Amino acid sequence: MTERASSASDGADAVGFGEPLVEIQNVSKHFPNEEGMFSWLSFNRDADGLPIETGREWVRAVEDVSFTIRKGETLGLVGESGCGKSTLARTILRLLEPTEGSIYFKGTDLADLSGERLRNTRKDIQMIFQDPQSSLDPRMKVGKIVEEPMQAHGMLDSEGRAARAQELLEKVGLDPQHYNRYPHAFSGGQRQRINLARALSVNPDFIVCDEPVSALDVSIQAQVLNTMRDLQKEFGLTYLFIAHDLSVIRHISDRVAVMYLGQLVELADKQELFENPTHPYTQALLDSIPVPDPRADGHRGVLEGDVPSPIDPPSGCRFRTRCPELITPAEYDLTDAEWERVRSFMRHVKRRDFTETDPDALSQRYFDGQIPSGDAGDKVSAAIDDIAADDWDAAAERLQNAFAEQSICAREEPDYEVDPEYGADRHTVACHLCRE
């Protein structure tokens, strides 16, 4: 069993909370790709052209994630659907085995625990799931559902468990008389309160909330969130709160971590992140929030392109294929306007969303008749010639290799950079723009 002593440099005073309770260090979770009969295999070819198996094909759901959650705080984890938030949560709880990394809880590495020691530790770490209906056994009465974790961990006798279950039902805003009802008699918000009572039944220190209000109406969301905050103060709870709704994250979180394609890209205090988003992905998420203003022009930030596959994520920065601020390759002397035109041309060629193939027309349409000079212009002209010859694949590959793959965003994975104004525990960003 590995234990880790918390250091004074963790900066508890920086955010106003206690010592680190949960510390995630370089955690990764990979799954074998099993979509098809032979999809788990990857092959090279021998001299005769016959396939040679080279190994499994892996889905890199979570990759090298690190952060700390302090006692008494709520860390919000936000990102698009499919970015790995729930996988990370289940890995932290050891419902999934981590591929790599360490998960420290109260200084003990959960990744090293097994059997009875892991089972005993789980009493202090609970989870609230997204769907309030499927997470409750329809054949059990509410009282027995709340009592079940206590019984599993040998807490109290039957009368003591019943009394505590009724007390907790009242704490979460339900009538203790609901003890003998079945889950189908409750609304979605009430079911989630039952889930909260069940999680509290074993006196946990840490609760992972996996989108606990996403299935509820907005008015009910606020009620459940307020209840969770009240209970946090009363019981001294620590939350990891996962959501894709930024308004929910803003309401309940103390700090916010932003996740994209299995990696963290930004982590900051709530107010700092919403007022000073630094990573282009965080900026795009905030720009996508609808503005309830009839005078607004209707313009909203929309990311172009699709989320890449976690089976073969982009090199360097994983967000670079959609980033509106991809850094210009150092070997080309391009102005900002020229670089934007080159990138726009690359995107349109990749999507093949135009039909004209005349070189002069393409030059006028995408470069206002002024193709960049030098080596960059030669590459663009060669791609235009490929299109004129109806070889779109060659044009797309030429542009990709000449420009997108030459950016530092493609060649180097960004490190977490610290904003010196706010300190290591206040604002970290994984973006090459922060090093310019």
Other Cβ atoms less than 10 A from the Cβ of 179: the count is: 17
Other Cβ atoms less than 10 A from the Cβ of 252: the count is: 21
Identify which of 16, 20, 17, 18 has the alpha carbon closest to the alpha carbon of residue 5: 20
**Residue length of the chain:** 436
Give the sheet arrangement for strand 20-32, strand by strand. Answer: 58-70, 20-32, 100-105, 108-109
pLDDT at 290: 72
Structure confidence by residue, pLDDT tens digits, 125-155: 999 988 888 889 999 999 999 999 999 999 9
Domains detected in the chain: 8-34+56-275 (3.40.50.300), 336-406 (no CATH)
Other Cβ atoms less than 10 A from the Cβ of 74: the count is: 23
Please tell me the pTM assigned to this model.
0.85
Structure confidence by residue, pLDDT tens digits, 85-110: 999 999 999 999 999 999 999 999 99
Q: Are 216 and 224 in contact (CB under 8 A)?
A: yes
| Max intra-chain CA distance, the chain | 85
Which residues are paired to 55 by β-bridges?
42
Per residue, the 3-state secondary structure of 167-226, as one string, reads: HHHHHCCCCHHHHHCCHHHCCHHHHHHHHHHHHHCCCCCEEEEECCCCCCCHHHHHHHHH
Tokens of 246: 């930024």
d(CA 359, CA 387): 8
Tokens of 44: 């090279």
Average pLDDT over residues 66-85: 93
Identify which of 374, 372, 373, 400 has the alpha carbon closest to the alpha carbon of residue 386: 400
Sign of CA dihedral 71, 73, 79, 85: positive
pLDDT at 215 over 90: no
pLDDT at 299: 54
Tokens of 166: 């009724």
